[in-house]
Every structure is written in C-alpha cells, then in structure tokens.
C-alpha cells in the first residue's frame, strides 16, 4: 500500500486559472493541467525569488519534493507555450495557508482571491 500524499501549503490561489492562445479551442487534447501546488512552486521560486529549500519550508514539504514539483510545472508550462495548448490551473493536494503574517514570508496570504484583503480584515468588518 502506498503512502498517502502530504498536503502542500499554498498561500494564495491564482487570480486567473486559464491561459493560452486567444483563438484556442478548449478540449482535452489541447489542455495542459497545472496543479495548484505546481503553481505555488513557480510563484515562490521564480516570482518571489525563494530557493528550493525556502520554498520547501514555506510549503511544509521536503526539498526533493519541491524539486520534482518544480520540474513537472516547468515542463507543463513549456508544453503549453511551445505547442500552443491552453494551461488550466486547478486541483492537487494542497491546503490554503491560514497564518497571515508570522509563519508566512511570501506575503501571498494577504492577496487571497477574496478581494485582496486578509481574513483578519474581513473579520473586523
């Protein structure tokens, strides 16, 4: 029996989850599925400038797991760009980060999909 997958901590969901050629027809053969945890590794490493070790600490997983997820994500993005396929971000084994400031160093928690305000801001209103 295989070991259950560990949940990966993700700070924010993407503002848009569908990317690709403007004239593309969305069907299963022309679709590349990027999981939310793969999106998070790209966001942390390429956009925020985290090392793989820092990314692993942020997502609460092993560095070798980050390396595998990152490589898979880059291949999917390349397939989408080179072959003109639509890229959809959805699914995966993740949980949204609940800490708002102390444990999270990427500041993504404050930019959740829900209007850009943090959960504490929403509770005060």
Q: How many domains does the chain have?
A: 1
Q: Which two tokens stand for residue 75?
A: 């291949």
pLDDT of 107 reads 58
Domain assignment of residue 2, yes or no: no
Q: Which two tokens stand for residue 110?
A: 């404050």
Other beta carbons within 10 angstroms of residue 23's beta carbon come to 6
Domain assignment of residue 30, yes or no: yes
CA distance 88 to 95: 19
Domain assignment of residue 3, yes or no: no
Quote the domain boundaries for residue 100: 8-124
pTM above 0.85, yes or no: no
pLDDT of 116 reads 42
pLDDT of 119 reads 37
Domain assignment of residue 35, yes or no: yes
């Amino acid at each position: 029996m295989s070991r259950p997958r560990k949940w990966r901590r993700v700070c924010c969901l993407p503002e848009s989850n569908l990317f690709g050629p403007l004239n593309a027809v969305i069907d299963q053969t022309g679709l590349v599925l990027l999981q939310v945890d793969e999106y998070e590794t790209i966001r942390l490493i390429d956009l925020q400038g985290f090392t793989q070790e820092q990314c692993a600490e942020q997502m609460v997983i092993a560095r070798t797991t980050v390396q595998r997820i990152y490589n898979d994500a880059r291949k999917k993005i390349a397939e989408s760009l080179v072959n003109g396929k639509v890229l959809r971000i959805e699914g995966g084994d993740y949980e949204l980060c609940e800490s708002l400031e102390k444990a999270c160093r990427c500041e993504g928690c404050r930019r959740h999909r829900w209007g850009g305000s943090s959960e504490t801001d929403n509770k005060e209103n």
